Structure 1
Amino acid sequence: MRPSWTGVYPAVTTKFKENGDLDIPAFVKNVEFQIESGVSGIILGGSLGESSTLSADEKLQLVEALQPYRSKVPVIMNIAESSTVRAIEAAKKAEEAGADGLMLLPPLLYKADGDETVAYFKEVAASTSLPILLYNNPVDYKIEITVEMFKQLQDVENIEAVKESTRDLTNITRMKNAFGNRFKIMGGVDTLCLEALLLGADGLVAGLVCAFPKETVVLFELAKQGKVEEAVELYRWFMPLLEMDIHSKLVQYIKLCEVYTGIGTEFVRAPRKMITGVEREKITQTIEVALENRPSY
């Protein structure tokens, strides 16, 4: 299924067994719950999916595991590479494995300038027919994709959308003013998701959706229906959980949320470690309070 870049796209966590091996049944179980809850696409192998610990073959295994679901939602694979050659190779293999689209980060490790970053995106896009969502997150990845850079990319037909994670909400209006609807805009920061939608974002690439998909879908729908008061009420309930998405341990925190909602496991790959002690008590308290006051949908 071709991505529309509207609605809610979970950046799903990768499930592992206690020994560190991929846990495909647990991965698929979570994705099935996402689909039942009304999400519009699945993004795998992102930072929340512990991309840095996955081999290229493991990412393809995840794509292949979701082939039976492609008639229901598009399957998007993340590409995060430090080399143009490796990024092109990953794009080609993702297409061969049955991915419906790509999320593409700027080059990692080396802080490429604007011309280098634009060239990187163009070369990767030229290597595949898959639609591409660019990931604009200068806070974590140190390279901003500016409006001027997007002007150089607007003729690249398969670069269709951007995950907007600059933390500058004004950027949504800048993009709409500059390009109209040429690029779909996906809000990429959980703690700014309602604001992003109200300012014109077309959808969300979300984190806490991994544990709370129904609530995330309802929040999106309320915002798009103009039911702002209802959306704000749900957002205020959600916010203590959404704060976990902007913490360096978002993977561990969100996986613990998945355990509490019965749709995930807590195992992570080193150097990450499962949280313990006072930190764990604090996070579990936040989760338990949220569950005690969870709205019914």
Structure 2
Amino acid sequence: MGTFEGLVAFSVTPTRPDESIDEDRLCAHIDTLIAAGVDGIAIFGSTGSIGSFSEAERRRVAEVTTKHVGRRVPVAIGTGAMTTAEAVRLSEHAEKVGADALLVVPITYWPLNEAELCAHYRAIASATQLPIFAYNSPVLTGVDMTPNIIVRLWQDGRVKYLKESARDLLRIPQVKEATEGRLRIFGGRDDSIVEALRLGADGWTSGAANIVPRACRRLFNFANDSQNEFAAHILQRRLAPLMSFLMDKGHVSVCHTALEILGRPIGTPRRPILPLAGEDRIHLEGILRSLEEEL
């Protein structure tokens, strides 16, 4: 079972014109990410449009991904779902097909309290032997897993990793201290990853890596080398317009549109999400032209 560290790419989910999943393009895209030097692959995170696909489709993508990666890097499979029962089924399947970890984000129409969140994660943990990558994304899910909740989940013994996408970066050292440095924390916001790493994050879970994987690899390396702090600052400034645009316009729409502009098309997002058009597309084209040396 592979251990997650460093730069983990949260892969997009390519589609065909009829909105079915394009497995060939998914495999080709994963190859591009691995060749660029990412340390791990995650499917069905937010950038992978987790809420856009059925349980059967998600099972199939898990099978295709784990087989194609073939242990070249660790693979985390997103198994978050509206109900605990579905999340358990997806998690059991992920273990069966060879995943290295479960990526679990709370997906719910109803706000969940602390007891409900903990019971949900415990049920998933009881169903498999895989480590869990807890994913806190309050802006997208409407559920904020506070440091106290994260620490409770870690104390249960199966949550080994955290993708922290809350705006408050000071949660990183807070959780780090409360878990005695044993919970591996990954910065989940592309626009502030250097700051997250300096505050104690162990790694970076990146949607931007779909577009500029080599630049993300370099930025991560610079940010973790005290002798390259200036280089990290310069590269972060170069990437800042793209990172901010991703946060403002949505990772799914931006990634699908950017890859089409760059000649690496992966199809359009599944509706109701749409690719960028008009002034937004023109603005993205300009950002990508300014990053030609980084592509």
1:225, distance to aligned residue in structure 2 (A): 1.4
Corresponding residue for residue 101 of structure 2: 101
CA contact (8 A) 1:187 1:204 kept: yes
Show the 5 A alignment for 1:59-70: 59-66=58-65, 67-70=67-70
Corresponding residue for residue 232 of structure 2: 231
1:180 partner letter: E
Corresponding residue for residue 211 of structure 2: 211
2:220 partner letter: F
1:3, distance to aligned residue in structure 2 (A): 2.7
1:154, distance to aligned residue in structure 2 (A): 2.6
Corresponding residue for residue 158 of structure 1: 158
Change over 3 Å in CA distance of 1:147–1:275 after alignment to 2: closer
1:72 partner letter: R
1:190, distance to aligned residue in structure 2 (A): 0.6
Corresponding residue for residue 141 of structure 1: 141
1:149 partner letter: I
CA contact (8 A) 1:133 1:161 kept: yes
Unaligned runs of 5+ in 2: none
| Rounded Cα–Cα distance in structure 2 between residues aligned with 1:269 and 1:152 | 36
2:86 partner letter: R
| Rounded Cα–Cα distance in structure 2 between residues aligned with 1:232 and 1:285 | 22
Corresponding residue for residue 71 of structure 1: 71
Corresponding residue for residue 40 of structure 1: 39
CA contact (8 A) 2:260 2:266 kept: yes
| Rounded Cα–Cα distance in structure 1 between residues aligned with 2:130 and 2:42 | 14
Change over 3 Å in CA distance of 1:160–1:147 after alignment to 2: same
| Rounded Cα–Cα distance in structure 1 between residues aligned with 2:216 and 2:72 | 18
Show the 5 A alignment for 1:276-291: 276-291=277-292
1:295, distance to aligned residue in structure 2 (A): 4.3
Note the aligned Cα RMSD (angstroms): 1.6
Corresponding residue for residue 86 of structure 1: 86
Corresponding residue for residue 255 of structure 2: 254
Change over 3 Å in CA distance of 1:212–1:15 after alignment to 2: same
| Rounded Cα–Cα distance in structure 1 between residues aligned with 2:14 and 2:62 | 13
1:46, distance to aligned residue in structure 2 (A): 1.8
Scaled by the length of structure 2, the TM-score of the pair is 0.94
Corresponding residue for residue 3 of structure 2: 3
1:265, distance to aligned residue in structure 2 (A): 2.2
Corresponding residue for residue 182 of structure 1: 182
Show CA shifts across 1:60-93 (max 9, x none).
2222222132321111111221211111111111
| Rounded Cα–Cα distance in structure 2 between residues aligned with 1:129 and 1:94 | 11
Corresponding residue for residue 243 of structure 2: 242
CA contact (8 A) 1:13 1:49 kept: yes
1:44 partner letter: I
Unaligned runs of 5+ in 1: none
Q: Secondary structure at the match of 2:219?
A: helix
| Rounded Cα–Cα distance in structure 2 between residues aligned with 1:230 and 1:284 | 25
Show CA shifts across 1:165-202 (max 9, x none).
11101101101221122210000011011111111111
| Rounded Cα–Cα distance in structure 2 between residues aligned with 1:235 and 1:124 | 37
Q: Greater CA deviation, 258-267 or 194-203?
A: 258-267
1:141, distance to aligned residue in structure 2 (A): 1.4
Q: Are 1:114 and 2:146 matched, yes or no?
A: no
1:160, distance to aligned residue in structure 2 (A): 0.2
CA contact (8 A) 2:214 2:294 kept: no
Scaled by the length of structure 1, the TM-score of the pair is 0.93
2:62 partner letter: V
Show CA shifts across 1:26-72 (max 9, x none).
11111001111111111101221112121112112222222132321
Share of identical aligned residues, percent? 27
Corresponding residue for residue 273 of structure 2: 272
| Rounded Cα–Cα distance in structure 2 between residues aligned with 1:295 and 1:19 | 33
Corresponding residue for residue 194 of structure 2: 194
1:49 partner letter: G
Runs of 4+ in 1 over 3 A off after TM superposition: 260-264
| Rounded Cα–Cα distance in structure 2 between residues aligned with 1:219 and 1:131 | 27
